[in-house]
Chain A
């Protein structure tokens, strides 16, 4: 049975809220934005047809409160909710509450979210569906002796992981039997305090793995198509930084096998909507199921660029009960796409988030470039939300062309007012390991500092001196009051430098 959606409440903020609003607009669907008091001037609030304030800045008092979102939906007469990613997108209780209120949830069924949210249950389901999983051991109430026996049979090193976790919390690499008890106990303690559940399991530690994930879309009745794979191995502390489609240098047979495994995984749960099946790929070409993300991914635009499909529109179509409208044969990849995430953070200081006013925000537009951003020049980057400023996505006929385009865009971008990882991204794209497609998931954490240290601060000091000479600081909007340590008075106004905000 199908039902046309007329008004979608977007239960998110930032670039993904804008992304969903744009798809709604193209489909002639009205959009409702929700915003916190800190987002009263945010682009997503202004872009939507209707906007509702849902409370104070902290997410626990606004974007993460199901009742406030449902109340906003009721108030505005929305007939569906799109959760975006993060926030409540993988919260089964929320999805259930949405459907209980008679609204469509643009995402999978609550029971699918629950099943895939539990690493142990997901693992069982994948084994049953014939999807390769990392050799491991899981049992509720397992003793240390059980863990020791199983770890020996899997072979060290092993990974101890929280059953209900993520983001590297409740995770330990154990290299030999002596450390096992310690690893299990500390991971369990950490999992208990971070996720409220101390259940842990064992997994073979895959050395130098690449992160390869398969984009799938299901109609909810067992029909599933895949939209190829993405490689997301450039990560720092389990946070993706650069993603691409397709995975560079992947053997066609392995590609076919990994995509087929992704489809089997989704078929096994009669998956509804867009989802991503993540795998670890080792150097031998063996791949193992990691987890399934039951939502739209941050990096979905690279897939859209290569397959020419609007995934958000497809999500909406499926939610309306109108099926996929496409078959696997319709999905033909073309060229190569790369996404770089621009974060407000300082790589030099342990990637500490940076906040402040965006004095300048200029990512040049060009053919084959897409910038998904939730910020604007003059806006505030606050402490309350994710420090991702934008995703820069480029498409090229080949990987080389895409890399050159990404280099050009990033090296001509200007982000002033908050620190960002822009310089690191440029050097990443230029470095040999990335150029050759030989990056594994721990590479950036191990090599990133070296990349950062290559900066050319001395040259920049010269440029700064020159900018100060060329600029009249009295015009910078500082109200004439100069900080003691900044320029005390106008030197001269000669050149084209623009000063300060706006």
Chain B
């Protein structure tokens, strides 16, 4: 049994999953489900739900979550092993992300910097306006993911913040 967290509507919900032969068993936020599973290689598989119909699914694990597709429907679902820190909605789910598609004007921090809640991390220009992306929790900059001039999309993580352990 593996346990972790999924960000849903700015809330971290607990998830767990395991496989028993061809049967996959997952629990998402207390909701239990099982499905029969056949891998078909290259990040694709076939899933049989309760209606008995096999359907094609695909998944790609990226740095910021798992991209999944079922019958064309595609989501990027942020999943982590450890519980996201800070207030959900602030530091939790979205973290220091670009508010909308635009261009990074400047990045104000470098890896290893200690930042306090409210410090400016980066400035993004979008829709002819400047948006300051602030730290929402006292933390240490883990990695800077963008540079000045980079185009970014809405919701894209700009900087990783690592909160000291103390759970």
**Chain A residues with CB under 8 A of B40:** 496
Question: Which residues A467-502 have CB closer than 8 A to chain B?
Answer: 467-471, 473, 476, 478, 481-489, 491-492, 494-500
B26 an interface residue at 8 Å Cβ cutoff?
Answer: yes
A207 an interface residue at 8 Å Cβ cutoff?
Answer: no
A419 an interface residue at 8 Å Cβ cutoff?
Answer: yes
Chain A: which residue is nearest B5 at the CB level? A485
Q: Is A496 touching B43 in the complex (CB atoms < 8 A)? A: yes
Question: Which residues B49-67 have CB closer than 8 A to chain A?
Answer: 49, 55-67
Question: Which residues B122-164 have CB closer than 8 A to chain A?
Answer: 142-143, 145, 151-154, 156-157, 160-163
**How many residues of chain A have a CB within 8 Å of chain B?**
66
Residue of A355, A413, A481, A497 near B61 (CB, 8 A) is A497
Q: Is A500 touching B63 in the complex (CB atoms < 8 A)? A: yes
Q: Is A485 touching B59 in the complex (CB atoms < 8 A)? A: no
**Chain B residues with CB under 8 A of A482:** 63
Question: Which residues B33-83 have CB closer than 8 A to chain A?
Answer: 33, 35, 37, 39-45, 47, 49, 55-82
B7 an interface residue at 8 Å Cβ cutoff?
Answer: yes
Q: Is the interface of B mostly helix, strand, loop or mixed?
A: strand
Chain A: which residue is nearest B82 at the CB level? A488
| A487 and B56 alpha carbons, distance in the complex (Å) | 25
Q: Is B59 touching A422 in the complex (CB atoms < 8 A)? A: no
**Chain A residues with CB under 8 A of B99:** none
**Chain A residues with CB under 8 A of B89:** none
| A198 and B115 alpha carbons, distance in the complex (Å) | 53
Q: Is B18 touching A469 in the complex (CB atoms < 8 A)? A: yes
Q: Is B61 touching A467 in the complex (CB atoms < 8 A)? A: yes
Q: How far is the CB of B111 from chain A (nearest CB, A)?
A: 9
Q: Is A485 touching B64 in the complex (CB atoms < 8 A)? A: yes
Residue of B70, B72, B142, B157 near A463 (CB, 8 A) is B70
A411 an interface residue at 8 Å Cβ cutoff?
Answer: yes
Q: B residues bordering A, Cβ < 8 Å?
A: 2, 4, 6-8, 15-19, 24, 26, 28, 31, 33, 35, 37, 39-45, 47, 49, 55-82, 84-85, 92-93, 95, 100-103, 142-143, 145, 151-154, 156-157, 160-163
Q: A residues bordering B, Cβ < 8 Å?
A: 349, 352-356, 359-360, 362, 382-383, 410-420, 422-427, 455-471, 473, 476, 478, 481-489, 491-492, 494-500
For the complex of A and B, 9 pairs with smallest distance between CB atoms: A423-B73, A467-B59, A426-B72, A416-B67, A498-B43, A422-B72, A499-B61, A464-B77, A464-B66
